[in-house]
Structure 1
Amino acid sequence: MNTNLVLENQQIRQDTQLKTLSQYLQQHPQWCQKRLELAELLYSRGRWQQAIEEYYRVLEWQPQLLEARLQLAKILHQLGRESEAIEIYLSALPLSPNIATLHLVTGWVETCRRRPQRAAKKFESAASLEPENVTHWHALGQVYLEKKSPFAALRAFDKALAINPDDIVALGNSYDALLAVGNFREGLRRLKQALNLAPYDFLSLKRMVDHRCHQRLVFGKEEQETQELMQTAMQLAPDNVDAYHSLALHHLARGEWARGVAVIQRFALLHPDNSKSWYYYAQCLYQTGNAKGAAEALLQAYTIYHNHPDIYLALCEIFPDAGRLNQLEPLIEDMLERFPECWSIWARVGQLLVENFQAKERGCCVSAKGPQLQPELAEAWFRHGRVLALAGRYGKALEALEEGWQRLPSQGGYLSSVPAAMWLGEIYQELEDHTTSQHWWTEATQRATELREFNPAIADYWQGKALEVLGNVAGAQQAYRSALRQQLFHPHNGKIKLALARLKCA
């Protein structure tokens, strides 16, 4: 795919329907229904700024259109333009036809104000008044996804699916929630169902491309299907950063690292005010081992828009590797105050305090908030247990890790349980219980085999680590080399190279 050509010609590649609507509105500029169709089509194609302009024109002529106001506010919120979104949502309140809609719109206002718990209560009130209205369940599930509460999100999306099993929005969004709880098989089943129902749904296409890239289905016959999905997504949304992120990830998974970085870099340079493009650029730079470049790109994203937990989580991961702890330290309290209901922020900050700032007491207290916020989530317990182990509190670490183990789903959970099994083995080794440590490392090898179905590169990394500590040098070398062949990203690939050198000298 010639990505430079795609970028340079994105303004002139319009399908027949777009051209027809545009030409019609040149002759009949006051025809609001047609302009509304144009706005909806532009949004579906990923041309969000143009869609915003058309929605504003619609509202100039028909200010009473509630759905147009809500869709405009939604796009503004998705672009991080919260103050504008809030203004539009507030202007929609007097137009609300009933109390349920009033709760719904107020909930969206609270979402823009980064008060997810208040938003969730409003959405719950709306859903209780109109339990058959899937819009309320969509909104509730989405706010729970944003606050990293996957089980609550899943329950909301399942409510929508009980009303309509072919609900595209609920199927796609529940894929994200299912991945977060470790059930990637059910997530993939729902994603395939969504694509079967709506083969041109952009978000479903992006999710499927990314999923296949993680599976490394990017060579041979499998690559043809991945390419077709990728090309369809690009045609639907030629100026949407999410499409270019998927394209970059596709190149990285194929080992075309320079091309992958160049794709998203060029998009970021062409859209310098798009925070998400700089965030994705930072991720790609970091995945390919350029931590310093990633830190610079992430700072750009942070400067443009820093009211999202993923920006801070990336700061915690990238800045220590880039040698910029002094810039990260002042942000620690800010992120805890800004996202008090996000368990992963508390877990990541706790680990940061223990590993990088030698604040063991504070770090353990901070990470303990994670399982308090998400007691159902195995990973929240695992991450807290890891922090306790890093602080040398092995007894408490075992309690947390074993609690998490009890909360794993009956099927799946491999992405979080494989490292957890490794950590349990390491703790028992420190406690000189060699039999139990061997048991957990063996468990890690077995679960890593299951993980290969979702992400073979990271599965082989953990497989190699487990086999190495079990004394299987040949098996460890084979697994490590397999991970490298499958383009394992930084920082794990560097660790593997060190391990292979160590094993060669052994």
Structure 2
Amino acid sequence: MKTSLLIRFCLAAVCLLAACNDPQKEKLTHLARGQEYLKSQLYPEAILEFRNALQIDRGLADAHFGLGEALLAQGNLQEAADRFLQTAKLDQKNLQARLRLGQMLLQYTRVGRAMDDATKEAERLENEVLAQDANNAEAIILLSDIRVLQKRYEEAKEELDRAIRLNPQRAAPAVALARYYEHRANDLPPTEAGKLKAQADAAFKDGIAKNPKLALVRLAYGDFLYSNRRTTEAEQQLLASFAIAPQDQLVLVALRRFYENQFRYDEAEKYLAKQVEIETDKNSGRAQIIDLHARAGRNAQAIAEYQQLLKEQPDFLRGYARLAELLLAEGRPQEAKQQLEAALSRNKQDNDALLVRGRIRTLEGNFREAILDLESALRLEPAMPAALYYTSDAHLQNNDPVRARSLVNTLLGYYPKHPMGLMMLIRIQLNQNKPNEAADTAQQLLNSLAQLKTNETDFQATRMPVEALKDLESKAFTARAVSHMQARNFAAAQSDLQRAIETDARAAEPHMNLATIHLIQNNAAAAQIEVEKAVTLAPSSPTAVALLADVALRQRNYAATIAKLDALADKHDRANLLFQKARLYEMQGDTANTETALRKTIEADPNYLNAYFMLSDFYKRQNLYEKAISELQSIIQSNRQAQQTGQAHLMIGLLEESRGRYNEAVTNYQKALSYDNRTLAAAIAYNNLAWLYADKNLGNIDQATEHAQRAVAIAQEASFYDTLGYAYFRKGQHAIAIEQFNRAIERRPLQAGYYLHLARALRENNNIPQARQAYAKAIQLQGLSAADVNGARAEMAALPRV
């Protein structure tokens, strides 16, 4: 008896072992689990199971399809599309994969494919489906969507009518009809769009009447109502969706976004908490709630919550980078760096940490090191919008707009009309003094944001957090305002800045720009009001605090501003606040407090370079050249990053040149260029070397011309063109010199010295009448020394009569 039992037990074990080792059964087990998880909306678990099945059998079409569905729900459109494409290749009868792929290709008209190619491929897929199922409602709706994008509206309407006739009780055709009317309305001026919007409204209501228990119809109607500013009705539909499907993630996300956009953060948190209950990654869910607290303006609470989360879960890597961002926003960069180093010590390839560290290094002016971090992040994830944006930003600030534009083109290649790409493009255009192009791009950005507000799929494809929409919309208005400011159209700029404030009342940048406009218009009192608002909203912003000092300097309101800076110093970036105090003390002629404040700035942040430069300049004005140079030498000797060392050598060169020690100046300019040959500081070094080579005969004249050309290539400054013109003048190439001097005058038309140089080049080029006019202008502007004026008069008198 015992033997029989033992034999049966062994046989069962053998059978069990065989089952575990049977790849066919194992893959089907993973597939079944994945499908069950997918049905339960447990997408991360579903993805894992489908991937396990595909490791056993790469040709398992159902696993590719299930994985595509789960990835689509998670917002990973690119890989989802790849999976649907693979399904379609493997299984000719899987019509759903073809429909999904076709629908996504239409989305790719804004996220990575040319419209013509996308619509052609979508139409091919739709034809394949209809060839097998002529009455497939989804295929007919897809065909209608294609015709809408092609603006073949009558044909689109005919297809929708056919879908409705074939499926009179289904919601999908009714919703598609509503979207059709909405799309057409968006193509018309507001005065003509009303009738079409009313038809869209009626179609949504018809869909709800046919399927009152289908949450997604009400969700789509809620989006429509919200986009048309019918907020109360939108809320009613979203709540009705929740009553029908309280566990549906799309419904919970929509409610959270709705309440957050209304600044009703407690209600937003209620639905976010329900969403987190469903998710399996509790740390990630907890982080989402903390991030909501930060967006609600409760930064101190969010920082404390992240610190507690990381204390309990030190391996939650994303938390370190997010905590660093919050600390940075509070003006605590050193603490932010500590968090990033903690993350990178655990994983040297932590993309989030590399990205934030790169941003901090850009803010500090350490562009080379920033670019190393950011390009490392890009290598890990080449299509990541944030990495492309911040790498472009670092190159732009490093005076390399060509590389910056190349990265923006890459971003917009992956995601046409992506808000971050358009925003960076605006910055590049403003940097290149192209205000009209910047204003046009800002309008494109506003249009893109309007589309994203009502298209959840498109929004997911941008890979941006939900709070970014409002922030970017406010920034778009601000960017357009700055373009108007460049064009000196201050009324239009102020109008856009007011719209930026209405869009996001917590944004400080619009108030800073309003303050700047008031300063330009010599209205210091109005500037004071705006800058006070900016500092209240962003007390950690170096720009806001510097602008506060600027306004105080204009009004001579020293004591009150110093007291305000002292009050801020308890909680925010002490180094920047102390530096602004030094500026105010210096303007009052208080040398003792100026020096003390600068010393305290350096103690608070040894990397605060402007304090060293200001302290050096402070000593120079007292003719304490050796002491000034000693401050700069301390930067060099402390083995700082290359650009900082280069800037210190540049400043020493300027000091040496100003006291007539030209050879020492040349040596330091050359050293500066050995550390940095791309930034504005490098352009100054190139320019000054060129001048000393040409004017003091300290170098080869051809090399002087080459250095001057490099300076102009980096920055098109008037003085750089003047130096280039002077180098050509010394070479005897007078016509080219005239061209450069004229470019200098275009940029600074009141600079007497430029006219004097132009006059001499015109004289040598035998343009005597024009030379006489240039001499006269140089003397008239009264910007020359007495010796230069006398020389100019003598030279003009010696001109031959024509």
Pairing 1:280-359 to 2, within 5 Å after superposition: 280-286=479-485, 294-340=493-539, 342=540, 344=542, 347-348=545-546, 350-359=548-557
Note if 1:398 corresponds to 2:623. no
- Pick one of 159, 171, 177 that aligns with 2:342: 159
Q: Is the 8 A contact 2:508 2:535 kept in 1?
A: no
Aligned residue number for residue 270 of structure 2: 90
Cα displacement (A) at 1:104: 3.5
Superposed displacement of residue 202, structure 1: 0.7
- Report the alpha carbon displacement of residue 199 of structure 1 after superposing the two structures with TM: 0.6
Point out where structure 2 has 5 or more consecutive residues left out of the alignment: 1-105, 127-137, 143-169, 173-210, 221-234, 451-469, 636-646, 652-671, 699-703, 721-743, 757-783, 786-802
- 1:174 pairs, out of 354, 357, 369, with 357
Tell me how many residue pairs correspond in the alignment: 457
Q: Flag the structure with larger Rg.
A: 2
What does residue 132 of structure 1 align with?
315
Shift of 1:316: 3.8
CA deviation profile, 1:79-113 (whole Å, cap 9, x unmatched): xx361565332322355559967864553343122
Counterpart AA for 1:162: S
Residues 270-281 of structure 1: pairs in structure 2 closer than 5 A: 274-281=473-480
The residue that corresponds to 1:446 in the other structure is 649
Give the letter aligned to residue 359 of structure 1. Answer: N
Matched residues in 1 for 2:242 and 2:376: separation? 36
SS of 1:216 mapped into structure 2: coil
Change (3 A) 1:153 1:131: same
Q: 1:305 to 1:253 in 2, by over 3 A?
A: closer
Where does 1:100-115 land on structure 2 (aligned, <5 Å)? 104-115=287-298
Residue 428 of structure 2 aligns with which residue? 250
Alpha-carbon shift at residue 154 of structure 1 (Å): 2.5
Partners of 1:343 and 1:374 within 8 A in 2 = no
Match of 1:427 among 618, 639, 661: 618
Which residue among 358, 364, 371 is the counterpart of 2:562? Answer: 364
- How far apart are 1:455 and its partner, in Å? 6.2
Give the distance between the partners of 2:368 and 2:250, measured in 1 at CA. 36
Alignment partner, residue 571 of structure 2: 373
Question: Residue 197 of structure 1: CA displacement?
Answer: 0.7
Partner of 2:437: 259
Instruction: Write the deviation string for residues 31-77 of structure 1: whole angstroms up to 9, x where unpaired.
Output: xxxx9xxx9xxxxxxxxxxxxx9x99997875436798579858996
Assess if the C-alpha contact under 8 Å between 2:337 and 2:357 holds in 1: yes
One-letter identity of the residue aligned with 1:283: V
Displacement of 1:488: 6.0
- With structure 1 as the length reference, what TM-score do the two structures score? 0.70
Q: Which amino acid aligns with 1:446?
A: H
> How far does the alpha carbon of each residue in 1:210-262 deviate from its partner, in whole angstroms, 9 at most, with x for none?
222233334xxxx4x55542222113333333212222333445565543444
State the partner residue of 1:388.
Answer: 585
TM-superposed CA distance for 1:165, in Å, is 2.6
Distance 1:358 1:169, change over 3 A: same
Aligned AA (1:382): F
Mapped partners of 1:388, 1:176: distance in 2: 32
Instruction: Flag the 1:12–1:175 CA change in 2: closer, same or farther, 3 A.
Output: same
Q: Secondary structure at the match of 1:83?
A: coil
C-alpha contact 1:70 1:88 (8 A) present in aligned 2: no
Q: Is the 8 A contact 1:241 1:267 kept in 2?
A: yes
Give the 3 Å change call, closer, same or farther, for CA 207–119 of structure 1 in structure 2.
same
CA deviation string 1:268-306 (max 9, x = no partner): 578689212111223344467666654443233123223
Specify which structure has the bigger relative contact order, considering alpha-carbon pairs within 8 angstroms and separated by 6 or more residues: 1
- For the residue of structure 2 that corresponds to 1:382, the secondary structure is helix
SS at match of 1:166: coil
Deviation per CA, 1:290-336, whole angstroms, max 9, x where unpaired? 66654443233123223023334444444312445443333454444
**Worse-matched range after superposition: 247-256 or 361-370:** 247-256
Note if contact 2:242-2:252 (Cα within 8 Å) is conserved in structure 1.
yes
Which residue does 2:680 correspond to in 1?
Answer: 457
Match of 2:417 in 1: 239
Amino acid at match of 1:357: Q
Matching residue's letter, 1:304: T
Q: How far apart are the structure 2 equivalents of 1:287 and 1:85?
A: 38
Cα gap change, 1:319 to 1:59, in 2 (>3 Å)? farther
Matched position secondary structure for 1:373: coil
Q: For 1:275, give the aligned amino acid.
A: S
Matches within 5 A, 1:42-57: none
Give the stretch that moved more between structures: 380-389 or 123-132: 380-389
Q: Distance in 2 between matches of 1:188 and 1:204?
A: 10
AA at the equivalent of 1:91: Y
> Residue 238 of structure 1: SS of its match in structure 2?
coil
Q: RMSD value over aligned CA atoms?
A: 5.1
Work out the CA distance in 2 between the residues paired with 1:235 and 1:403. 48
Q: Would the aligned equivalents of 1:134 and 1:160 in 2 still touch at CA under 8 Å? A: yes
Which residue of the partner structure matches residue 50 of structure 1? none
Is the partner of 1:368 in helix, strand or coil? helix
Whether the 8 Å CA contact 2:303–2:323 is kept in 1: the answer is: yes
Cα distance 1:330–1:14, how it changes in 2: closer, same or farther (>3 A)? closer
Mapped contact 2:519–2:551 kept (Cα < 8 A): no
For structure 1, list consecutive stretches of 5 or more residues without a partner in the other structure.
1-8, 40-52
With structure 2 as the length reference, what TM-score do the two structures score? 0.47
Q: Partners in 2 of 1:489 and 1:281 — Cα distance?
A: 24
| AA partner of residue 308 (structure 1) | A
Distance apart, 1:451 and its partner CA: 11
- Distance in 1, Cα, partners of 2:288 & 2:253: 8
- CA separation in 1, counterparts of 2:522 and 2:675? 33
Partners of 1:150 and 1:467 in 2: CA distance = 39
Provide Cα deviations, 1:157-206, integer angstroms capped at 9, x if missing partner. 33333333322222212211222344333322110111001110111111
> Is 2:321–2:340's contact at 8 Å kept on the other side of the alignment?
yes
CA distance in 2, matches of 1:87, 1:99: 20
Name the amino acid aligned to 1:138.
A
2 CA distance for matches of 1:175 and 1:265? 29
Deviation at 1:440, TM superposition (A): 5.9
The AA in structure 1 aligned to 2:618 is: I
The verdict on how the C-alpha distance between 1:385 and 1:343 changes in structure 2, with shifts beyond 3 A counting, is farther
Question: Is the Cα–Cα contact under 8 Å of residues 74 and 85 in structure 1 kept in the other structure?
Answer: no
Q: Letter of the aligned partner of 2:291 in structure 1?
A: W
Alpha carbons of structure 1 residues 358 and 394: separation in structure 2 relative to 1, 3 Å: same
Label 1:349 to 1:231 Cα distance change in 2 as closer, same or farther (>3 A): closer
Contact preservation (8 Å) 1:124, 1:140: yes
**1:230 aligned to 2:408?**
yes
* Cα offset, 1:392, TM superposition: 3.1
Cα distance in 2 between the residues matched to 1:450 and 1:430 = 26
Contact kept in structure 2, 1:215 and 1:456, CA below 8 Å: yes
